[in-house]
Amino acid sequence: MKNIILLLLPILFACNATKTATTTSGSISATAPYKWTNSFPRTIRISQQFNDDEAAAILLMSNAWSDSVDNEKNFMSYGSDVTEKTNNITNLDSLYDGVMGVYKCSNWPNSLPGSALAVTQIFGRRYNAGEDNEFVNIEHADIIINDDFYDFDTTDTGSGFDFRTVVLHEMGHFLGLQHKSSNSNRNLSVMFPSIDPTEAKRYPKAHDISDIADKYNISIGGAGPMSAGHKPNYSIKEGDPGKPVRILLELQANGDCVHKEDGVEVSRHGIH
């Protein structure tokens, strides 16, 4: 099965959606930013299904995000390993359990396409729907690696997709970064939504560092995080209770970027 899926290259991660969907609360933007508004570090737990090399790689890739902003933010810390829901995840909603994890799944859920290399699932609350400062406050997130259909390489042997590249990308989603889907960004961002088996991106690139600094108001090298007049407004309008939302960022092998909210596809498009 794994070798069959590899023939469907190029592989795409999730999408930076361009459409909007209409709900009873008004028009929502699939490109509205995601952000943790509570304090860092966020505690993550690693599935015991990962071997020692894979677990070490996960730690390195999460540290790479903190290192990219001169350790101004310690974004993630790690608790004890996850012993449950590691191999047979049948209900994605069940992951919203107060334990944020990186999971290795060798029995891929039927609710996800077999072409998915990895997914990041975000639970949050959408505020200011339909307004210029619409955003999603992240409350919970998990990363799920597809070990059912794909081989991953942690030892630079070329035996599969580069595990560190995949994890670094998914960690970017965990922190609230969306995709850079323009081909001009391929070498400037780890959030470009495609990867091939020979590609290795193990450090955040220039656009990633700028985006994470802007999102969390981090000054780098004595410079402010934003150009004047571009600082995002994450304030909540008075009386807005927010709308619960589940966002699934999934990889597709068919050349499309797909963005789903509450199990419904809100956008599909290709790289441009």
Domain assignments of the chain as residue spans, ordered by start: 2-269
What pLDDT is recorded for position 21? 36
20 phi and psi angles, rounded to 5 deg:
-120, 155
Where the chain has pLDDT below 70, the residues are 1-28, 82-88, 183-185, 221-232, 251-259, 264, 266-272
State the fold for domain 2-269: Collagenase (Catalytic Domain) (3.40.390)
- Contact in structure between 252 and 115 (CB atoms under 8 Å): yes
Could you give the CA distance from residue 236 to residue 32 in angstroms, rounded to a whole number?
A: 14
What pLDDT is recorded for position 198? 80
What pLDDT is recorded for position 219? 83
pLDDT per position as a tens digit, 174-211: 999 988 777 666 788 998 877 777 889 999 999 999 99
- Residue 45's SS3 state is strand
Could you give the CA distance from residue 223 to residue 200 in angstroms, rounded to a whole number?
A: 29
What pLDDT is recorded for position 267? 63
Between the CA atoms of 53, 196, 100 and 205, what dihedral angle is there, to the nearest 10 degrees? Answer: 90
What pLDDT is recorded for position 32? 87
Nearby residues of 190 by Cβ (< 8 Å), 6 or more positions away: 165, 168, 169, 172, 201, 203, 204, 205, 208
What pLDDT is recorded for position 17? 38
What pLDDT is recorded for position 220? 78
What pLDDT is recorded for position 154? 92
What pLDDT is recorded for position 152? 93
